[in-house]
């Protein structure tokens, strides 16, 4: 590996770890970088999932204070994410590589759209909460419903297949259906994302094509980025973060489409 490739991958890992902790969608930074450097999309996805898993864990640890009092919620949601991640990983490895390369531009496009509309979704969620009666404010209603579990499972499937924007999806679903502060939901999001990445990454490590040098570089970078995101990332402009994600995501989508022509 050329030295500047290693530096670029490590830097992308730092940025992705920070973005995943604060917003989600860090894969839209690392995935296009790996593809641009010549790695096949499936190898880029599997190496990316394993490499960013430590960063997901460090981000979850960084939000440990916001996790207090949410043990029951985590014990309810984590199994849905775990099973979903297994299903998604099986799909990735079972379907032909050509099928993944065909669908991945659409998945990247979906992730970019989710990042763009996330502020409007958040505003709608806040307005919806303000309109609720005090009787619903206890958080005991829809938060434990089957609907939430099913949606978290489906997001886990998506995350096990292609990790980009799973954090944005989780925040949208939980924000709409659970009466809780956004920071505490973000802490739950980090744990669930870590579950998906660790489960899928473990699966890939044994049965999928993986570049372990890339994994090591992303792991070191994402751990640093996860801790950085938990400490100072919340002070950064959300608009700036989203702008970077969207620009990188669109560039990745264009590159992937060109590869197929």
Q: For 147-198, what is each residue's pLDDT tens digit? A: 889 999 999 999 888 877 788 788 778 877 787 777 788 889 889 988 998 9
The reported pLDDT for the residue numbered 141 is: 44
Element (H, E) at 79: helix 71-94
pLDDT attached to residue 211 = 93
pLDDT digits (tens, 9 = 90+) for 58-71: 778 877 888 888 88
Residue 70 φ then ψ, to 5°: -115, 20
The residue extents of the domains of the chain are 3-260
Q: Which residues of the chain have pLDDT under 70?
A: 23-24, 122, 125-126, 128-144, 230, 232-242, 244-245, 248-249, 252, 255-256, 259-261
What was the pLDDT predicted at 168? 75
> Would you state the pLDDT for residue 6?
93
User: Which residues contact residue 205 at a Cβ distance below 8 angstroms, ignoring those fewer than 6 apart?
Assistant: 50
Q: What is the distance between the alpha carbons of residues 207 and 61, in angstroms, rounded to a whole number?
A: 29
Would you state the pLDDT for residue 139? Answer: 45
Strand, coil or helix: 209: coil
Q: Which of 183, 224, 253, 237 is nearest to 54 (CA)?
A: 224
Q: 132: helix, coil or strand?
A: coil
């Amino acid at each position: 590996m050329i030295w500047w490739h290693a530096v670029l991958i490590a830097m992308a890992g730092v940025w992705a770890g920070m973005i995943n902790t604060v917003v989600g969608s860090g894969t839209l930074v690392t995935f296009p970088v790996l593809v641009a450097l010549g790695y096949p999309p499936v190898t880029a996805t599997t190496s990316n999932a394993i490499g960013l898993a430590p960063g997901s864990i460090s981000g979850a640890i960084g939000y440990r204070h916001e996790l207090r009092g949410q043990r029951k919620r985590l014990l309810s949601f984590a199994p849905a994410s775990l099973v979903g991640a297994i299903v998604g990983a099986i799909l990735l490895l079972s379907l032909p590589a050509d099928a993944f390369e065909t669908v991945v531009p659409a998945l990247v496009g979906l992730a970019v759209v989710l990042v763009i509309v996330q502020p409007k979704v958040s505003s709608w969620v806040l307005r919806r909460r303000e309109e609720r009666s005090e009787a619903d404010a206890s958080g005991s209603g829809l938060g434990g419903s089957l609907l939430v579990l099913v949606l978290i499972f489906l997001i886990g499937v998506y995350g096990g297949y292609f990790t980009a924007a799973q954090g944005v999806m989780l925040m949208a679903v939980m924000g709409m259906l659970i009466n809780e502060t956004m920071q505490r939901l973000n802490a739950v999001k980090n744990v669930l994302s870590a579950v998906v990445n660790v489960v899928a990454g473990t699966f890939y490590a044994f049965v999928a094509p993986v570049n372990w040098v890339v994994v090591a570089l992303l792991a070191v970078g994402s751990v640093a980025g996860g801790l950085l995101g938990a400490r100072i990332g919340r002070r950064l402009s959300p608009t700036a973060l989203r702008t970077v994600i969207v620009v990188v995501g669109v560039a990745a989508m264009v590159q992937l489409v060109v590869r197929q022509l």
